[in-house]
């Protein structure tokens, strides 16, 4: 599978990796990546996949790009959905030794003492 020649391709700075399906010259893809990188920096990696480099990806995604996926789940298409990415990262960190967060990034309430 061919990857885009971008500095973002293969960045691995966390336990999770967001996949961004894209193609060279895609303006919406560039905008999404520019917004996504600072949002996930230090919390997740970003793998940029060129859909034109693999016939099956081109067939699946066609003009439906960019697509952001985490653990096989599509988080957003065309434009960055910051909340969906935030929620996906929080949900994905639960059970991985990472602290779960409640609403607005706060720690979940403590359990009542017996």
pLDDT, one tens digit for every residue, the chain (114 residues):
444 444 444 444 446 999 999 999 999 999 999 999 999 999 999 999 999 999 999 999 999 999 999 999 999 999 999 999 999 998 866 544 333 333 334 344 444 444
Residue 42 lies in a domain: yes
Pairwise CA distance, residues 14 & 64, whole Å = 27
Residue 49 lies in a domain: yes
User: Based on the structure, what is the number of domains in the chain?
Assistant: 1
pLDDT of residue 95: 44
pLDDT tens readout for residues 73-84: 999 999 999 999
Residue 7 lies in a domain: no
Cis amide prior to 66 (ω within 30 degrees): yes
pLDDT of residue 93: 64
- For residue 110, with 0-12 CB atoms within 10 Å meaning exposed, 13-18 middle and 19 or more buried, which class applies? exposed
pLDDT of residue 91: 82
Q: What is the CATH number of the domain that holds 68?
A: 3.40.30.10
pLDDT of residue 45: 96
Pairwise CA distance, residues 65 & 83, whole Å = 19
Pairwise CA distance, residues 68 & 65, whole Å = 9
Residue 30 lies in a domain: yes
Residue 48 lies in a domain: yes
Residue 66 lies in a domain: yes
């Amino acid at each position: 599978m061919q990857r885009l020649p971008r500095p973002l391709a293969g960045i691995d700075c966390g336990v999770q990796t967001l996949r961004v399906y894209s193609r060279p010259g895609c303006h919406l893809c560039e905008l999404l990546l520019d917004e996504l990188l600072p949002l996930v920096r230090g919390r997740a990696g970003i793998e940029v996949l060129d859909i034109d480099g693999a016939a099956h990806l081109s067939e699946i995604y066609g003009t439906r790009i960019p697509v952001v996926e985490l653990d096989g789940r599509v988080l957003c298409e065309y434009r960055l959905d910051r909340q969906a990415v935030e929620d996906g990262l929080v949900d994905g960190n639960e059970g991985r030794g990472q602290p779960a967060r409640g609403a607005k990034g706060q720690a979940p309430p403590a359990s009542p003492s017996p």
